[in-house]
Structure 1
Amino acid sequence: MENKQEPPNAGKHTISLSDASEAAYWTEKFDTTKVRLKAAVNAVGPVAKDVEAYLKKK
């Protein structure tokens, strides 16, 4: 099931892993897994652009 609709927090450009629909949105947007997304957020914080840069390096 694809989740193309942005969750309510997506406009803030921060990632909240506590919301399942938001986590699903960001994993699809960054073409990654929830495990990698969580590792990226833990490494660089919840700012989407920082997480994206981190994931591109790995």
Structure 2
Amino acid sequence: MDDKQKTASPDRDKINVKENYEVEYWSKKFEVTPGQLKQAVKSAGTSASEVEKLLKKLK
């Protein structure tokens, strides 16, 4: 479960697509739609760095 009180790693390095604020944050950060972000997480897992790598390959 996402602990909003813990903002340091590893919590900061994971993407939780069940939390709207996280979907909004990561979508903006990676300049993709929420749907694209969710698909990338489905393919690459919840690691922000792995999702970023995948999204860069797709651009």
Shorter-chain TM-score bucket reads 0.7 to 0.9
User: What are the within-5 Å matches in structure 2 for residues 12-27 of structure 1?
Assistant: 12=11, 13-27=13-27
Q: TM-score, normalised by structure 1?
A: 0.79
Q: Would you say 1:44 and 2:36 are equivalent positions?
A: no
Deviation at 1:46, TM superposition (A): 0.4
Number of equivalent positions: 51
Greater Rg, structure 1 or structure 2? 2
CA contact (8 A) 1:10 1:22 kept: no
Residue segments in structure 2 that go unaligned for 5+ positions in a row: none
Residue segments in structure 1 that go unaligned for 5+ positions in a row: 1-7
- C-alpha RMSD of the superposition: 1.5
Q: TM-score, normalised by structure 2?
A: 0.78
CA distance in 1 between counterparts of 2:7 and 2:18 reads 13
| Runs of 4+ deviating beyond 6 Å | none
Flag the 1:31–1:18 CA change in 2: closer, same or farther, 3 A: same
Work out the percentage of aligned pairs sharing the same amino acid: 35
